[in-house]
Amino acid sequence: MLRSFDLILIGVMTATAVVTYSIKHRAELKLEEVHRIESEIKLERDTIDLLKADWALLTQPNRLHRLTAVYQSELDLVPTEPTQLAMPKELPMPKSQLPQPETTIEQLIAGNDPAVAAAIAGVDKAKASKPEPRIPVPLPRGASSVDVISTGSVRR
Protein backbone atom coordinates (compact mmCIF):
# COMPACT_ATOMS: atom_id res chain seq x y z
CA MET A 1 0.00 0.00 0.00
CA LEU A 2 1.15 3.50 0.67
CA ARG A 3 4.47 3.83 2.23
CA SER A 4 5.45 6.72 4.44
CA PHE A 5 7.78 8.00 1.71
CA ASP A 6 4.83 8.23 -0.70
CA LEU A 7 2.85 10.24 1.87
CA ILE A 8 5.78 12.60 2.33
CA LEU A 9 6.05 13.11 -1.44
CA ILE A 10 2.30 13.80 -1.69
CA GLY A 11 2.64 16.38 1.10
CA VAL A 12 5.63 18.04 -0.62
CA MET A 13 3.75 18.19 -3.95
CA THR A 14 0.70 19.74 -2.27
CA ALA A 15 2.83 22.34 -0.49
CA THR A 16 4.64 23.13 -3.76
CA ALA A 17 1.31 23.58 -5.56
CA VAL A 18 0.05 25.95 -2.83
CA VAL A 19 3.25 28.02 -2.93
CA THR A 20 3.16 28.16 -6.74
CA TYR A 21 -0.47 29.28 -6.73
CA SER A 22 0.17 32.00 -4.12
CA ILE A 23 3.16 33.33 -6.10
CA LYS A 24 1.06 33.38 -9.28
CA HIS A 25 -1.76 35.18 -7.48
CA ARG A 26 0.60 37.85 -6.09
CA ALA A 27 2.13 38.34 -9.54
CA GLU A 28 -1.33 38.89 -11.05
CA LEU A 29 -2.16 41.44 -8.35
CA LYS A 30 1.09 43.30 -9.06
CA LEU A 31 0.32 43.27 -12.79
CA GLU A 32 -3.13 44.78 -12.13
CA GLU A 33 -1.50 47.47 -10.00
CA VAL A 34 0.99 48.26 -12.78
CA HIS A 35 -1.87 48.61 -15.29
CA ARG A 36 -3.77 50.90 -12.90
CA ILE A 37 -0.70 53.11 -12.38
CA GLU A 38 -0.07 53.24 -16.13
CA SER A 39 -3.65 54.39 -16.72
CA GLU A 40 -3.24 57.08 -14.03
CA ILE A 41 -0.04 58.27 -15.72
CA LYS A 42 -1.83 58.43 -19.07
CA LEU A 43 -4.66 60.43 -17.49
CA GLU A 44 -2.16 62.86 -15.94
CA ARG A 45 -0.35 63.28 -19.26
CA ASP A 46 -3.66 63.93 -21.01
CA THR A 47 -4.54 66.48 -18.34
CA ILE A 48 -1.18 68.22 -18.77
CA ASP A 49 -1.65 68.33 -22.55
CA LEU A 50 -5.12 69.79 -22.10
CA LEU A 51 -3.86 72.41 -19.66
CA LYS A 52 -1.05 73.36 -22.05
CA ALA A 53 -3.63 73.79 -24.82
CA ASP A 54 -5.80 75.93 -22.51
CA TRP A 55 -2.77 78.04 -21.59
CA ALA A 56 -1.87 78.52 -25.24
CA LEU A 57 -5.43 79.59 -25.95
CA LEU A 58 -5.57 81.99 -23.01
CA THR A 59 -2.24 83.65 -23.80
CA GLN A 60 -2.84 84.35 -27.47
CA PRO A 61 -1.63 87.89 -28.22
CA ASN A 62 -4.77 88.81 -30.17
CA ARG A 63 -7.01 87.76 -27.27
CA LEU A 64 -4.90 89.63 -24.71
CA HIS A 65 -4.86 92.74 -26.89
CA ARG A 66 -8.67 92.61 -27.16
CA LEU A 67 -9.02 92.18 -23.39
CA THR A 68 -6.71 95.10 -22.63
CA ALA A 69 -8.71 97.27 -25.00
CA VAL A 70 -11.98 96.34 -23.28
CA TYR A 71 -10.70 96.79 -19.71
CA GLN A 72 -8.41 99.78 -20.37
CA SER A 73 -10.49 102.07 -18.14
CA GLU A 74 -10.21 99.69 -15.16
CA LEU A 75 -6.61 98.60 -15.60
CA ASP A 76 -5.01 101.89 -16.72
CA LEU A 77 -2.33 99.97 -18.61
CA VAL A 78 0.36 101.92 -20.44
CA PRO A 79 3.24 100.66 -22.57
CA THR A 80 6.55 100.11 -20.80
CA GLU A 81 8.97 102.97 -21.32
CA PRO A 82 12.60 102.10 -22.07
CA THR A 83 13.62 104.15 -19.03
CA GLN A 84 11.66 101.81 -16.76
CA LEU A 85 14.03 98.94 -17.46
CA ALA A 86 16.98 98.74 -15.08
CA MET A 87 20.52 97.79 -15.89
CA PRO A 88 22.23 95.29 -13.55
CA LYS A 89 24.53 97.99 -12.15
CA GLU A 90 21.45 100.03 -11.18
CA LEU A 91 20.04 97.27 -8.96
CA PRO A 92 20.54 97.42 -5.19
CA MET A 93 23.52 95.62 -3.72
CA PRO A 94 23.19 91.99 -2.62
CA LYS A 95 22.50 91.22 1.03
CA SER A 96 26.01 89.87 1.47
CA GLN A 97 27.45 93.33 0.67
CA LEU A 98 25.13 95.28 2.99
CA PRO A 99 26.84 96.95 5.95
CA GLN A 100 26.34 95.15 9.22
CA PRO A 101 24.33 96.96 11.92
CA GLU A 102 26.10 98.16 15.05
CA THR A 103 23.24 97.00 17.28
CA THR A 104 22.96 93.29 18.04
CA ILE A 105 19.74 91.32 18.21
CA GLU A 106 20.17 90.89 21.95
CA GLN A 107 20.31 94.66 22.43
CA LEU A 108 17.20 95.13 20.30
CA ILE A 109 15.28 92.52 22.27
CA ALA A 110 16.40 93.98 25.60
CA GLY A 111 15.43 97.47 24.41
CA ASN A 112 18.75 99.02 25.52
CA ASP A 113 19.04 101.15 22.39
CA PRO A 114 17.18 104.50 22.80
CA ALA A 115 16.66 104.81 19.03
CA VAL A 116 14.89 101.44 18.97
CA ALA A 117 12.73 102.39 21.94
CA ALA A 118 11.77 105.65 20.19
CA ALA A 119 10.96 103.79 16.97
CA ILE A 120 8.78 101.28 18.82
CA ALA A 121 6.96 104.12 20.56
CA GLY A 122 6.39 105.80 17.19
CA VAL A 123 4.98 102.60 15.71
CA ASP A 124 2.65 102.16 18.68
CA LYS A 125 1.50 105.76 18.32
CA ALA A 126 0.86 105.32 14.59
CA LYS A 127 -1.13 102.15 15.18
CA ALA A 128 -3.27 103.86 17.80
CA SER A 129 -4.04 106.92 15.67
CA LYS A 130 -4.77 105.28 12.32
CA PRO A 131 -7.90 103.15 11.72
CA GLU A 132 -7.60 99.78 10.04
CA PRO A 133 -7.69 100.05 6.23
CA ARG A 134 -10.72 98.68 4.44
CA ILE A 135 -10.29 95.61 2.29
CA PRO A 136 -10.84 96.59 -1.34
CA VAL A 137 -13.68 94.79 -3.08
CA PRO A 138 -13.68 94.57 -6.87
CA LEU A 139 -16.56 96.20 -8.66
CA PRO A 140 -18.91 93.89 -10.55
CA ARG A 141 -18.28 93.85 -14.23
CA GLY A 142 -20.90 94.28 -16.89
CA ALA A 143 -23.22 91.47 -17.88
CA SER A 144 -21.68 91.19 -21.33
CA SER A 145 -19.09 88.47 -21.59
CA VAL A 146 -16.07 89.68 -23.50
CA ASP A 147 -14.29 86.43 -23.69
CA VAL A 148 -16.13 83.13 -23.56
CA ILE A 149 -13.91 80.15 -24.11
CA SER A 150 -15.25 76.67 -23.73
CA THR A 151 -12.55 74.11 -23.35
CA GLY A 152 -12.75 70.54 -22.27
CA SER A 153 -11.67 69.26 -18.94
CA VAL A 154 -10.58 65.94 -17.62
CA ARG A 155 -12.69 64.57 -14.82
CA ARG A 156 -11.35 62.09 -12.36
Angle at the Cα of 16 from the Cα atoms of 13 and 18, rounded to 5 degrees: 110
Q: Which residues contact 71 (CB under 8 A, 6 or more apart)?
A: 146
pTM (predicted TM-score): 0.42
Taking only the tens place, the pLDDT of each residue in 88-141 is: 778 888 888 877 777 777 666 666 667 777 777 777 787 777 666 666 666 566
| pLDDT score recorded for residue 9 | 93
* Cα–Cα distance for residue pair 46/136, rounded to 1 Å: 39
Q: What is the DSSP letter of 111?
A: T
Residues 6+ apart with CB under 8 A from 154: 43, 46, 47, 50
